[in-house]
C-alpha cells in the first residue's frame, strides 16, 4: 500500500474512532496544555504503530490500547486539579454527572478498568489490553462497582 493511501486510511480510521481519545483524555487530564500535548502524542504514537497493526484486533481496541498506554506513561506538566465533588443528596444531579465525578476520583488503574468495562469490553479482552490477570480484573471491578453502587444508593430490591 502506498504511503499516501495508508495515511488516508489511518486518518479516516482515527476520525471514526477519535471519541476514544477524547474520552480517555477527558477522564485522565484536566488542564488544556496537557490535553493538547497528550492528544498530539497519542496520534503520533498511533501513526508510528499503525505500520505494525495487523488487524488481529479491531482498530478501536488497538486505538484504546495506544491511547491508554500514552496517557498512563505521560509525564504531566501541571498537577491535576482537585476533582470537583458534587452534591449527591441533590435529587436533580444527573446520573451521568455523578458517574463522571466518581470515575474522576478513582486512581488511574481503576479508572482504566471501569472505562473499558463500561465501554463493553469483557474481562478476557480487558486482560489482553492491560496485561493484568482476569482474576485481578474481576476483583478490582467488583470493588469499584461496590463503591459506585453505594454512591448511586442502589440497594437490593427485596
Partner 1 sequence: MNKEEQLDNVLAEAWKQLEDKKFKNQKDKLQIMEAIKLDSTSTINKLKKGLKIKIGWAVAITMGLIIFLLFQMDNAEMVKLISIGIISYILGTIAMLFSYRKINPAIGDKDILTSMKDNYKQIRGVLAAEQTWALITFIPAVILGILIARVMRGESIIECFTDPRVLKIMVISLFVLVPLMYFVSNKMNEKAFGSNLKKLEEDITKMETLS
Q: What does the binding site for partner 1 look like in residue numbers (CB under 8 A)?
A: 7, 10-11, 14-15, 18-19, 22-23, 26, 37, 39-41, 43-49, 52-53, 62, 65-66, 68-70, 72-75, 94-96, 98-100, 107-110, 112, 118-119, 128-132, 136, 139-140, 145, 148-149, 152, 154-157
CA atoms within 13 A on the CB side of 37: 13
CA atoms within 13 A on the CB side of 99: 7
Least distance (Å) between residue 107 CB and partner 1: 6
Q: Please state the three-class secondary structure of 88-117 as a single string.
A: CCCCCCCHHHHHHHHHHHCCHHHHHHHHHH
Alpha carbon 147 to chain centroid, angstroms: 19
Least distance (Å) between residue 21 CB and partner 1: 9
Least distance (Å) between residue 83 CB and partner 1: 14
The C-alpha cell at 82 is: 482537585
Output 112 or 123, the one with its CB closest to partner 1: 112
Amino acid at each position: 500500500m502506498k504511503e499516501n493511501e495508508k495515511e488516508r486510511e489511518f486518518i479516516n480510521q482515527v476520525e471514526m474512532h477519535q471519541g476514544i481519545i477524547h474520552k480517555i483524555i477527558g477522564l485522565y487530564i484536566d488542564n488544556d496544555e496537557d490535553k493538547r500535548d497528550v492528544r498530539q502524542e497519542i496520534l503520533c504514537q498511533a501513526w508510528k504503530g499503525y505500520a505494525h497493526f495487523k488487524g488481529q484486533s479491531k482498530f478501536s481496541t488497538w486505538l484504546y490500547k495506544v491511547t491508554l498506554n500514552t496517557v498512563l506513561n505521560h509525564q504531566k506538566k501541571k498537577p491535576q486539579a482537585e476533582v470537583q465533588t458534587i452534591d449527591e443528596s441533590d435529587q436533580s444531579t444527573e446520573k451521568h454527572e455523578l458517574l463522571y465525578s466518581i470515575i474522576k476520583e478513582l486512581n488511574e488503574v481503576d479508572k482504566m478498568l471501569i472505562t473499558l468495562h463500561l465501554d463493553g469490553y469483557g474481562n478476557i479482552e480487558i486482560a489482553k489490553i492491560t496485561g493484568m490477570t482476569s482474576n485481578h480484573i474481576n476483583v478490582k471491578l467488583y470493588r469499584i462497582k461496590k463503591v459506585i453502587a453505594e454512591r448511586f444508593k442502589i440497594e437490593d430490591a427485596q
